[in-house]
Amino acid sequence: MLGEYRTLLPFVRKYRWYYIFGVLTLVVTSGGQLFIPQLIRRAIDTMTVTGFSLSTVGRYMVMLVALAAVIAAARFGWRYFLHGASRRIEAELREQLFGNLLNLSSSYYRETTTGDLMARATNDLKNVRMAAGMGLVAFVDGVFMTLAILIILFSRHPRLTLIVVLPLPFVTVAILFAGRLMSRLFRRVQESFAELSSDVQESVTGVRVIKTFGKEGYFNRRFADSNDEYQRRNLAYVRVQGMFFPAVTFLSGLTSLLLLRFGGAAVVLGTVTPGEFVATLTYLEMLVWPMMGAGFLVNLIARGGASLKRLNAVIDREPDIRSPERPVTTVDSSSVSVRGLSYRYTEDGDEALSDIDLEVPAGQTVGILGRTGAGKSTLVSLFPRILDPPPGTVFVGSHDVRNYDLQALRSAFAVVPQDTFLFSATISENIRFAAEAAGDELVSRAADISTISRDLADFPDGWETLVGERGVTLSGGQKQRVAISRALAAQRPILVLDDALSAVDTESEEKILSRLMSERHGMTNIIIAHRVSALSRSDYIYVLDEGRIIQRGTHDELISAAGMYRDIHELQQAESREETHPGGPRG
């Protein structure tokens, strides 16, 4: 558990002065508190032994007020420095976590839920902050106060002190036992919270589908099950915590009981003065906090360690796809070539692509046709290394894509994926996403090409209309056209449309492709589509089926040859005629 705290060492070094000043002011606070019983002892002995003196007692009262002011100032100091350091560590650790999430490859997100990541970025980081702040306070204060109090007591009345501190070893045993158990139970609590967060995130994201199919009841029950499991695990943790703290308090309280029995007898016999008895009782009451603090520390360390383990699993995760040690930093051409490519998502999985040879000359438009699941999206994901191809199989310009700096390679591509994603921002901000400095003229031109500008009157605030989370306020066709505008505004040398016109009607598709070919004449374009009409303007076309290229050629060549391309073309032509003349004769 403690090994997980290695992640915090660089931050502790960075904020060492915060911790040094924080510990110093904490020691001053505790030292001031330790001096209070001595003033009380002297005041009581003055009144009971030497006789009451207003001037003497008044002097002790002034000293107590001055000491209280010092303690208050020092307490502000350790809170400012130690809590300040822990808050800064939390912020930087969150940035480190988020930065690594952006670098991780897409394969990581196939095995991790969004709810789990949100739980790590919120609850887990909060627990780490508490361990880095209050955990240190409980440790330093507990060690300092315990040692100081025991030294003071043993130096004045060793035999009496030895009797009254007999319960303390049992407190130590309870702390060691409870620490391991609470760490294991709290890890289960955090895992359950992650599952609960995932259920909520999935339900909110898919609320339209849930309502459409009337599955509210099912998702309510599923959430209730997750919520009940989270409650059960929390209660198991709280039961241990609930038994631990009272047990520590009870064992610590036994010291006061022993003092009343043996210390009271010593006062009667005159071997201990009334002031010393009261001071000793005060010290024993003060000793309860270090004992409780030890339990508090165990709780914080257990929770922080369990949370750090979950955070380290993300922070220490290396991205599967990285730039090479000596990368090529400039893409020398917009041509793309694939040579003998076979690709599996996992080592023991089936081949998603098999023996692919493909050429996309610079400045030309190449189309790719195929049924759903043929491997089209997998293929184009290998070009900018969203997925990692085997060495020596995919080239952009004259270099293997694996030899490029990732940023340089991906900056050569503008991709419109088939699963369109828009950010919760305005339409204008979404179009400017990859070209923040784009002027209004460029945005307007990109919107005209994608035909989204014709819908401008339907948007309540024009280009400044918020599209909602994932573009929820727009139709499927509108989202695709905004995404196309975004890709065009980026002005990248290679444009990839991955079935980006599937939600657009045939008339709009014709206008978009006509304008796009005119705008990007002489630039490299890769168009994936299910409709043959979307590929008819391409310079060259490849047909994929079950991960293999089964046909290649120009539109006219493929139309004239028997095969899938002509079959799909004829089927779509027949469907188009049926839509145009729905009441025509049937054979």
Interval 200-229: pLDDT, tens: 877 777 776 777 667 778 888 888 888 888
Per 3-state DSSP, the chain is made up of helix, strand and coil in percentages (nearest 5) of: 65, 10, 25
- For the chain, percent of residues with pLDDT exceeding 90: 18
Over the chain, what is the mean pLDDT? 83
pLDDT tens digits, 48-81: 766 666 777 778 788 888 888 999 999 999 999 9
DSSP letter assigned to residue 199: H
- Judge contact between 408 and 332, C-beta under 8 A: no
- In whole angstroms, what is the distance from residue 543 CA to residue 551 CA? 5
Q: Are 449 and 515 in contact (CB under 8 A)?
A: yes
Residue carrying structure tokens 């361990």: 131
Measured distance CA(331)–CA(128) in Å, rounded: 43
Q: Which residue type is seen at 311?
A: L
Find out whether 484 and 500 touch, Cβ atoms under 8 Å: yes
Q: How far apart are CA 383 and CA 410, in angstroms?
A: 9
The DSSP line for 358-385 is EEE-TT-EEEEEE-TTSSHHHHHHHTTT
For CA atoms 344, 350, 354, 358, the dihedral sign is negative
Q: What is the dihedral of CA 488, 490, 491, 494, to 10 degrees?
A: -80
CA 19-23-27 angle, to 5 degrees, is 175
Over the stretch 417-454, which tens digit does the pLDDT of each residue have? 888 888 888 888 888 887 777 777 888 888 888 888 88
Q: Give 303-326 pLDDT, tens digit per residue.
A: 788 888 888 888 888 888 888 889
**Cα–Cα distance between 531 and 569 in angstroms, integer?**
8
Which has more confidence, 463 or 340? Answer: 340
For 263, the token pair is 């210390």
> With 70 as the cut, is the pLDDT of residue 579 above it?
no
Asked if pLDDT for residue 585 goes beyond 60, the answer is: no
User: For 363-375, what is each residue's pLDDT tens digit?
Assistant: 999 999 988 888 8
pLDDT greater than 50 at residue 586: no
Asked if 428 and 441 touch (Cβ cutoff 8 Å), the reply is no
Residue ranges of the chain that CATH labels 3.40.50.300: 326-412+497-554, 422-491
Rg (the chain; Cα; Å): 36
Instruction: Name 361's Cβ contacts closer than 8 Å, sequence gap at least 6.
Output: 335, 524, 539
End-to-end CA distance of the chain: 76
Q: What is the 3-state secondary structure (H, E, C) of 246-290?
A: HHHHHHHHHHHHHHHHHHHHHHHHCCCCHHHHHHHHHHHHHHHHH
DSSP state of 206: T
Write down the residue that tokens 């895992």 correspond to. Answer: 191
Sheet containing strand 336-344, strands side by side: 351-360, 336-344, 394-396, 399-400
Asked if residue 359 has pLDDT above 50, the reply is yes
Please determine, looking at this structure, whether the domain spanning 2-315 carries the CATH number 3.40.309.10: no
Q: Which CATH number fits domain 422-491: 3.40.50.40, 3.50.50.60, 3.40.50.300, 3.30.70.2740?
A: 3.40.50.300
- The CATH number of 326-412+497-554 is which of 2.60.120.10, 3.40.50.300, 2.160.10.10, 3.30.930.10? 3.40.50.300
